[in-house]
């Protein structure tokens, strides 16, 4: 599990951006430490990478949220 700072460093993104993605419902911490730190699974790094690539392709955060929701429905359905 990664803290928000570790995830941000690996994804080369600011912790503020990750908090914003969380606020927008694009990424969700998987747990919190005893000290209250957000903890993310390693798969979150791929999700952040997808979000950033989609933004570079011109997708809005709302559109990215829809893409992620579609992907989640598709994975759950199979």
Q: Report the distance separating Cα 7 and Cα 41, nearest Å.
A: 9
Residue with tokens 């759950």: 76
Q: For residue 54, give the CATH number of its domain.
A: 1.10.1660.10
Report how many domains make up the chain. 1
Residue 78 has pLDDT above 70, yes or no: no
Residue with tokens 């952040």: 48
What single-letter DSSP state applies at residue 14? -
Look at the pTM and tell me if it is higher than 0.85. no
* Residue 18 near residue 48, CB atoms below 8 Å: yes
The two tokens of residue 57 are 């392709």
- The mean predicted confidence, pLDDT, of the chain is 90
Reported as type and span, the H/E element at residue 38 is strand 38-40
Domain range for residue 37?
A: 2-77
pLDDT band with cut points at 50, 70 and 90 for residue 71: confident
């Amino acid at each position: 599990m990664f803290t928000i700072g570790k995830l941000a460093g690996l994804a080369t993104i600011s912790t503020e951006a990750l908090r914003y993605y969380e606020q927008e419902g694009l990424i969700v911490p998987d747990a919190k430490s005893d000290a209250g730190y957000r903890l993310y699974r390693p798969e979150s790094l791929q999700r952040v990478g997808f979000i950033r690539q989609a933004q570079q392709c011109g997708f809005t955060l709302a559109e990215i949220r829809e893409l992620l929701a579609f992907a989640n429905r598709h994975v759950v359905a199979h």
